[in-house]
A and B are shown apart, each in its own frame.
Chain A
């Protein structure tokens, strides 16, 4: 199956700093990638749809200035958590599809801890 990588896998940062998370499709091109957030023992909440070459589409309640998304190439999308605060601590997962009916391949996730 398709492989999606994510970097870093784990990051600890101080409150007020910004953190960038990369999501790469390794063996396929993805015009669209998705960013999810998952709190412990909860479901995955879609944050935004990352569109190659255009602006991301954010879900209701997600601050676009807080969570900056850039999809500069067909294999790379980045999520930057700006001015991170402890409540931003979470598991961030990206996914990408190979088209068709929307089967998604997920990256391994990034666990963010903001002190």
Chain B
């Protein structure tokens, strides 16, 4: 199946700083989904992007899907301690294949 590479693996920021995680694929993706997993918890669906060049926002979170539908990013503006967790991108029409995840830790 199609693989997605996610970077960085870890990111530590000061509270209030911005954060971005990226997913890249060598092939065109039909869609990209983003999930958040809090420490000790399970993945929770955040958003799905389907269209080329699509940009969606959820409060401080901005999600982008590249024009070629081969990459995507999640950007958090002014991080808060509640943003701590691992962010996964996933792709697939039926079964999801996940990226490696980016673990975000925040220094309050």
Contacts from A to B (Cβ < 8 Å): 1, 32, 34, 41-44, 46, 49, 93, 95, 97, 101-109
A43 touches B93 (CB 8 A): no
Residues of A within 8 A of B100 (CB): 42-43
Residues of A within 8 A of B31 (CB): 101-102
In B1-51, the 8 Å CB interface with A consists of: 30-31, 33, 35, 41-45, 48, 50
Residues of A within 8 A of B45 (CB): 1, 103-106
B42 touches A101 (CB 8 A): no
How many A-B pairs with Cβ below 8 Å? Answer: 57
Q: B92 at interface (Cβ–Cβ under 8 A)?
A: yes
Other A-B pairs beyond A44-B88, A101-B50, A106-B45, 13, CB < 8 Å: A42-B100, A43-B101, A44-B43, A44-B98, A93-B42, A97-B94, A101-B30, A102-B92, A102-B93, A102-B96, A106-B43, A107-B42, A109-B41
B103 touches A43 (CB 8 A): no
Residues of B within 8 A of A104 (CB): 33, 43, 45, 90, 96
Residues of B within 8 A of A32 (CB): 94
A108 touches B42 (CB 8 A): yes
Residues of B within 8 A of A1 (CB): 45
Q: B95 at interface (Cβ–Cβ under 8 A)?
A: yes
**What are 17 pairs between A and B in contact, CB < 8 Å?**
A34-B96, A43-B100, A49-B94, A49-B95, A93-B42, A93-B43, A95-B43, A97-B94, A101-B30, A101-B50, A102-B94, A103-B33, A103-B45, A104-B43, A106-B35, A106-B42, A106-B43
Residues of A within 8 A of B103 (CB): 41
Minimum Cβ distance to chain A for residue B101 (Å): 5
B93 touches A101 (CB 8 A): yes
Complex formed: what's the CA distance from A109 to B88 in Å?
16
Asked if A95 meets B101 with Cβ closer than 8 Å, knowing A44-B88, A103-B33, the reply is: no
**B33: nearest residue on chain A (CB-CB)?**
A103
